[in-house]
């Protein structure tokens, strides 16, 4: 059963408890930040922050209002990042999360280019950097425990469960309160569908969510986009992949007592 999350923006109070829980579970340090115009801290995902809460002022016609939006990896049904990863460092789990194996990553950053949501981040501060991203607490899910962010959400803005059931809940809320909700479940169809979905009382473009995406699966476009990458970048990536293969082969041979 593929698991998903449904985020009801109307219930989020911007407490950032999900952000703290995420850092605690993933053992990530706090970031030193400065106060920005949207009051987010930090204002964007980075190698130390897998989820963040965006603070958005309401549209003019909505009067004086604020919306708070949790943002993280969208865990696409057919992820473009995994399709672009030549080393198999990213893969879609049968349980829903897009998992990442740091040991296989060569740091080519093709996943960053392929992702339509701009989610994967790079460890720019390290000499030997790798990609970092939310894995939807796949280790907790495998143990039968819901993700840290949804578990800690006191207002109930984050629901965790079967994707089809969550779509039913979302559409049920919209049908029951058409005067309140926008008549659309964000993530149901975008980029071929995602495991993180939203319902809202304001246009999704006002929430700094990537809008205007096609409903087709972006995984099919990955290599078409990479074909436009400068040849020198492709050559460097292939060279790194060669080093990765040789190193792993030596490790395997050493483990088997060969090559001594």
Nearest to 81 by CA among 132, 139, 136, 148: 132
CATH topology of domain 1-228: Alpha-Beta Plaits (3.30.70)
% of the chain exceeding 70 in pLDDT: 79
- Binned at pLDDT 50, 70 and 90, residue 152 comes out as very high
C-alpha dihedral (230, 234, 236, 240), degrees to nearest 10:
160
Q: List, for residues 31-49, the tens digit of each pLDDT value.
A: 777 766 666 778 788 999 9
Spatial distance between the Cα atoms of 7 and 187, rounded to a whole number of angstroms: 10
Q: Is the pLDDT of residue 89 over 50?
A: yes
Most confident of 104-108, 118-122, 180-184, 235-239: 180-184
pLDDT at 251: 47
Spatial distance between the Cα atoms of 107 and 130, rounded to a whole number of angstroms: 5
pLDDT at 182: 95
SS3 106: coil
- Binned at pLDDT 50, 70 and 90, residue 222 comes out as low
CA–CA distances in Å: residue 38 to residues 66, 234, 259: 10, 37, 58
For residue 42, is the peptide bond before it cis, meaning its omega torsion is within 30 degrees of 0?
yes
- What mean pLDDT do residues 205-231 have? 69
pLDDT at 98: 97
Instruction: Give the containing element (helix H, strand E) for 213.
Output: none
Q: Is the pLDDT of residue 108 over 90?
A: no
Lowest-pLDDT range, 51-55, 201-205, 213-217, 253-257? 253-257
Nearest to 193 by CA among 218, 170, 166: 218
Is the pLDDT higher at 62 or at 72? Answer: 72
């Amino acid at each position: 059963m593929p698991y998903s999350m449904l985020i009801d923006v109307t219930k989020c109070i911007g407490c950032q408890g999900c952000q703290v829980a995420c850092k605690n579970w993933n053992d990530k340090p706090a970031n030193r930040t400065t106060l920005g115009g949207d009051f987010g801290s930090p204002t964007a995902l980075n190698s130390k922050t897998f989820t963040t809460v965006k603070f958005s002022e309401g549209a003019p016609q909505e009067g004086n209002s604020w919306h708070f939006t949790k943002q993280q990896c969208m865990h696409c049904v057919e992820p473009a990042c995994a399709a672009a990863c030549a080393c198999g460092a990213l893969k879609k789990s049968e349980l829903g999360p897009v998992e990442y194996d740091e040991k296989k990553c060569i740091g080519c950053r093709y996943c960053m280019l392929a992702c339509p949501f701009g989610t994967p981040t790079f460890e720019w501060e390290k000499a030997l950097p790798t990609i970092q991203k939310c894995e939807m607490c796949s280790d907790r899910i495998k143990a039968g425990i819901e993700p840290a962010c949804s578990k800690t959400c006191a207002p109930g803005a984050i629901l965790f469960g079967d994707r089809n059931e969550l779509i039913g809940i979302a559409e049920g809320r919209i049908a029951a309160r058409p005067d309140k909700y926008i008549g659309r479940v964000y993530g149901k169809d975008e980029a071929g569908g995602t495991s993180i979905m939203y319902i809202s009382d304001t246009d999704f473009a006002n929430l700094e969510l990537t809008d205007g995406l096609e409903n087709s699966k972006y995984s099919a476009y990955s290599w078409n986009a990479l074909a436009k990458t400068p040849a020198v970048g492709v050559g460097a990536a292939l060279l790194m992949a060669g080093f990765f293969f040789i190193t792993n082969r030596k490790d395997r041979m050493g483990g088997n007592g060969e090559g001594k």
